[in-house]
Amino acid sequence: MKSLTVSVVTPDGPVLEDSFQMVSCKAESGELGILPGHIPLVAPLTISVVRLKGETSNQLVAVNGGFVEVRPDKVTILAESAELPSEIDTERARRAKERAERRIQSQQDDIDFKRAELSLKRAINRLDVKKGQ
């Protein structure tokens, strides 16, 4: 079966570069399933899990926004931040989730609420990726 070269890159540098049969990611417009030969596109990503299906194994990546660029033989994910399950500190993510939940419950001003909401989404995403490894 044909494969796609997949690169996940952040401002801090590359996170992953490998070949996979399928990429599944969540764009702001909805879920994308990308196979070799896909039409070219660029789409903004949400805070979500990127699922990479390989010939013999699967890989998950926690992505915090950014863009996906698709070409027929290559997928590049330019993320604000991205983590592999092995890099995720479960305890740290759990503490971040609890802090964000407390901030949301305190209902201070709108700016803090939005930041807390994004922080909560990132923490939940990281915990989901770690759990699904």
Cα–Cα dist 88/126, whole Å? 7
Cα–Cα dist 84/71, whole Å? 23
Query: Considering the domain 4-85 in this protein, what is its CATH number?
Result: 2.60.15.10
pLDDT for 133 equals 57
Q: Identify whether the C-beta of residue 42 lies closer than 8 Å to the C-beta of residue 76.
A: no
Domain boundary assignment for the chain? 4-85, 89-132
pLDDT for 110 equals 61
pLDDT digits (tens, 9 = 90+) for 14-27: 999 999 999 999 99
Whole-prediction pTM: 0.81
Residue 129 has pLDDT above 90, yes or no: no
Cα–Cα dist 70/39, whole Å? 7
pLDDT, mean of residues 24-38: 94
Query: Considering the domain 89-132 in this protein, what is its CATH number?
Result: 1.20.5.440
